[in-house]
Structure 1
Amino acid sequence: MREVGLSDLDLATRALLAVPRDTWAVFASSLIVDAHAADLWRKRHGVAHPGGGTGSLYAQAALYPRAATSMCSARYCAALSVLLEALLVWRGRTNL
């Protein structure tokens, strides 16, 4: 997966907020794994993945509906926390 920036985190968090809270962890992991797969495709073929974009978390999250919410809300912060935890777990598994 490409390097994660603040816009990646924001869009992915908003995608999490558009799904039921009890699915956030699984959905966050899915976004990360799919972004990584799209990045591998991009590197191998020299073009964006047809269904997964450029391999960024932003491009992956952009494929899903997203909630419009304040970045200061407790719900946004909770979803961001779940996303960050999923990133830490994924980085630990892949040693990247």
Structure 2
Amino acid sequence: MVPPQYYLVLAAAVFCIGVFGLLTRRNALLFLMSVELMLNAANINLVAFSQFWGNVTGQTFVLFTMALAAAEVAVGLGIILVLYRNFAGVDVTDATTMRW
């Protein structure tokens, strides 16, 4: 049996990687991947605590989080397609200039 501390350390590392990617990248696709990493870190925590306490509540919340992540990706890819069509790239700093 793996102690819950290992899962928490893994989730903290994955979350920190996601925050670092969100703060340092300018590519919209990498933004989406970083947000997905942060959501997966939360899912790891939910499953770890669910297993630790012996109930399935955390795993149920993980299913809702996965549905939320799928919807977020669908909306995000639509925004990225519009960004690419209007600015010929997916650099988010180009969108702040308001040039067509």
Choose 1 or 2 for highest CA Rg.
2
TM-score clears 0.5? no
TM-score (structure 1 length as normaliser): 0.35
Higher relative contact order (CA 8 A, sep 6+): 1
